[in-house]
Each structure stands twice: as structure tokens, then as C-alpha cells.
């Protein structure tokens, strides 16, 4: 397992958001069905996180920091939910956090415990280090007839091969973890007001669960 690596931030983005950071962690891991112990951990988390906690969630310092950043980049957090609020809403709708896979359950636990968003990529499909930059004119997600345009200037997570995903949005087709993935790159985005320890804890929580140590 590698150490946490700081990603790059394009100069024009860093100038506007000097505290914006990206951190990544690469490890050998597969997804698959969650073991019974992890499903039980998810159930306990569901029991701890009920309506009152969900209502108070957005007022906590870390979720609030992401809400503020969303507004700064033109996203309404009441319509485009922050990752932790989206999970909280899903829990309320379904009466609990639903077990989907080893990776998805690990991400849910880490995000709900720290408030920090985390994504996972297939490390074998990456080229170079991850960073944050604006979309260039003509950039697209995917290939062929199913490709979609990316608005110029939209903030992206990218590597040397191109866009990995929209910042706080969808991952690009073919970049996420699939059934054949054997190495993953986890990454998180830190904004102003979010302590380093929360980002580190979130990433290592996912890594430990995937490796069977969490």
C-alpha cells in the first residue's frame, strides 16, 4: 500500500481557492460482496444515524465547509447534495444504509464518519498523478455516440490522459472500479475549513476496510 500523495491544482484554480487540495492513495484491492462483519458495521451506523442527526448534519463544521465551497463554484447544495448529505438522505429514504458492495460500503462508512467525500478509480487506467483543473474547450466524457460535452471552465479531476471526473460530480466512463479491478486509487478533495486529519482518516478508513484491517 502506498502513502498519501498530494495532487496538483492548476494555477488559476489555486489562485481562486488557495486551500483547495486533492489527496490520493493507491492500493491493491478488489471489491465484491461485503463480509458479514462489514454489513453489521453498516447496520450499527444506520442505527446511530437517525432523523435528528441528519437534520443537524449540515451544521457540523466539515459538512458546512463543503456546502460553502459548493456555493463558491456555483452549485446549490440544497439541489446538488454534498456527498455526505446525499448519503444521509438515502439512509432516511430507505430506513438504513443499504449494503451494495465491499467498496461502496467502505466509502459510505468513511464518508459518514468523517464528512469528507471519497471516490475510487481503477488504478490501472490512470496515467500520471491526479489534479484539479478547469475543463478545456471541446473536452468530453466517454467516446463515440455516448460521449457527453463538458462545459468550458467546469472544474474537473484529471490525470495525464484527460478528465477523471467532474469535481464533486460523476466519474468519467471507464475510470471507476469494475469487476476486474485489482488496484484502486482512492482520492478525496479538501476545501477551506476541513482539517487534514479528517481527509487522512477518511482515506485510511476505506483502505483498511478493503485490505481487511478495518
Kindly report the pTM of this predicted structure: 0.94
124-166 per-position pLDDT tens digit = 999 999 999 999 998 888 766 667 889 899 999 999 999 999 9
Q: Are 135 and 148 in contact (CB under 8 A)?
A: no
**DSSP H or E run through 190:** strand 183-190
What single-letter DSSP state applies at residue 90?
H
Short-list 61, 69, 77, 76, CA closest to 19: 69
Domain map (residue ranges) of the chain: 5-210
Alpha-carbon gap, residue 17 to 49, rounded angstroms = 32
The torsion of the CA quartet 51, 52, 54, 59, rounded to 10 degrees, works out to 160
Q: Are 166 and 150 in contact (CB under 8 A)?
A: yes
| Architecture in CATH for domain 5-210 | 3-Layer(bba) Sandwich (3.50)
**Residue pointed to by grid coordinates 479528517:** 198
| 155's grid cell | 472544474
Residue-by-residue pLDDT tens, the chain, 214 positions:
579 999 999 999 999 999 999 999 999 999 999 999 999 999 999 988 877 777 788 889 999 999 999 999 999 999 999 999 999 999 989 899 999 999 999 999 999 999 999 999 999 999 999 999 999 998 888 766 667 889 899 999 999 999 999 999 999 998 999 999 999 999 999 999 999 999 999 999 999 999 987 6
Amino acid at each position: 500500500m502506498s502513502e498519501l500523495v498530494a495532487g496538483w491544482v492548476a494555477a488559476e484554480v489555486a489562485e481562486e481557492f488557495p486551500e483547495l487540495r486533492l489527496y490520493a492513495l493507491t492500493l491493491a484491492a478488489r471489491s465484491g460482496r461485503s463480509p458479514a462483519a462489514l454489513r453489521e458495521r453498516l447496520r450499527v451506523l444506520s442505527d446511530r444515524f437517525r432523523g435528528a442527526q441528519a437534520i443537524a448534519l449540515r451544521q457540523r463544521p466539515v459538512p458546512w465547509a463543503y456546502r460553502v465551497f459548493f456555493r463558491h463554484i456555483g452549485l446549490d447544495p440544497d439541489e446538488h447534495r454534498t456527498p455526505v448529505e446525499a448519503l444521509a438522505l438515502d439512509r432516511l429514504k430507505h430506513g438504513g444504509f443499504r449494503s451494495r458492495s465491499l467498496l461502496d460500503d467502505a466509502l459510505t462508512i468513511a464518508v459518514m464518519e468523517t464528512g469528507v467525500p471519497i471516490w475510487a478509480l481503477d488504478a490501472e487506467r490512470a496515467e500520471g498523478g491526479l489534479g484539479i483543473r478547469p475543463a478545456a474547450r471541446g473536452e468530453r466524457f466517454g467516446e463515440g455516440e455516448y460521449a457527453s460535452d463538458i462545459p468550458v471552465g467546469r472544474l474537473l479531476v484529471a490525470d495525464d490522459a484527460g478528465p477523471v471526473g467532474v469535481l464533486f460530480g460523476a466519474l468519467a466512463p471507464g475510470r471507476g472500479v469494475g469487476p476486474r479491478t485489482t488496484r484502486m486509487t482512492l482520492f478525496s478533495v479538501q476545501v477551506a475549513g476541513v482539517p487534514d486529519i479528517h481527509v487522512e482518516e477518511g482515506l485510511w478508513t476505506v483502505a483498511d476496510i478493503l485490505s481487511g484491517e478495518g
